[in-house]
Amino acid sequence: MKRTDLIDILHSIKGITVAVIGDFALDRYFIVDTSLNEPSLETGLTAFQVVQTTQSLGASGSVACNLSVMGSSVLAVGFSGVDGAGFDLKEEMNSLSIHDGYFYRSKEVITPQYIKTIQLEDGSRIEGNRLDIKNFNPTPYDLEQQLIDGLPEVFQKSDAVVILDQMTEENCGVITRRVRDRLISLAGEWSGKVVLVDSRTRIDKYNHMIIKCNKMEACKAINPNLNEEPTIDMAVVCGKKLYEKNKKPVFVTLGKDGLLAFSKDGVYYIPTVEVPPPIDIVGAGDSVTAAVAAALSSGASVVDAGLLGNITASVTIRQIGKTGAATPEQILETYDQYFAKSEK
């Protein structure tokens, strides 16, 4: 991809509307200075002293954030609880001008949160155990139906649709079985629209859609009993089978090795570059998802969309201690710094 092509794609991305459907979460970071630790008078246990807190959109919200920062108009489709975290989530969405006309609040659910502790110790940042707060009960029927009823209008208003089926617990989030079935039906009706799905454990259940997943998810979709770390060769075989199933492009991320793209024209290996440390891979896959969907919607080829995904991830992994996003300027700068030589 030439630099002029990249500029054209980034310009086109600013004119599209993308619907992001899935579980929006609040990523919270608590920064602890271990030099200030003190014993609790009540329990004797160490009381960690938080010296800084930050928050940002997580899970599906991370994809929405990346799209918004790239300049696309974003429709959020999902729900939150009527709670403090839900208020903070709404504030984060407002700050990014993410449209929430299809985002519902309900007292019957809680707002998902991923709470991450970072300890500052002897000049180093040490990440502690994460605390996950999410819904473990089935999504209420009325809320589920409200989501389903709004989907036809969402498809009509959007240039691209991104579906994030990331909750491990079946039927306990936005993408329930009934919602998934309706999405599959609409993807068939809107066969010319970019509809991309990313799912941790159920990617094999989706039809009529572009697939994006990592190599373990792709291989587990074909070989459910797989326990070992799959090789790139295994990912090629499984990616081909996923493409044959849907007859839509498939993108399989390989971490530091880049990604594989599958289309009617064949299989493409799209390498990336090694970014020097320090790096933070939180949200890297979400940035790939956002970039690929936006690029395809803007008319980019499968290969160029995959390359934009790699470039975008190379930006976000350098944003330490937060769920990153990449501006068009940062993408161009990273292309010039790391990718331009390989594309000449």
Three-state SS at 138:
coil
Confirm whether 214 is domain-assigned.
yes
Please check the confidence at residue 230 and state whether its pLDDT lies above 90. Answer: yes
Q: Is residue 50 part of a domain?
A: no
pLDDT digits (tens, 9 = 90+) for 111-164: 999 999 999 988 788 888 999 999 999 999 999 999 999 999 999 999 999 999
Neighbours of 222 (CB within 10 A): 19
For the stretch 199-211, pLDDT in tens is 989 999 999 999 9
Residues 6+ apart with CB under 8 A from 272: 256, 257, 258, 259, 310, 313, 314
Average pLDDT score, the chain = 94
Is residue 126 assigned to a domain? Answer: no
Distance CA 158, CA 154 (A): 6
pLDDT tens-place string over residues 296-311: 999 999 999 999 999 9
162 in Cβ contact with 292 (< 8 Å): no
Question: What token pair was written down for 334?
Answer: 């990273």
Report yes or no on 130 lying in a domain: no
Whether residue 81 lies inside any domain: the answer is yes
DSSP designation for 281: -
- The mean pLDDT value for 65-75 works out to 97
Q: For the chain, what is the domain count?
A: 1
| Domain presence at residue 31 | no
Query: How much of the chain, in percent, has pLDDT values that exceed 90?
Result: 87
**Residue 154 is assigned to a structural domain of this protein:** yes
Domain span at residue 63 reads 3-24+58-111+135-343
Q: What is the CATH number of the domain that holds 149?
A: 3.40.1190.20
Print the SS3 string covering 297-320.
HCCCCHHHHHHHHHHHHHHHCCCC
Domain membership of residue 79 (yes or no) is: yes
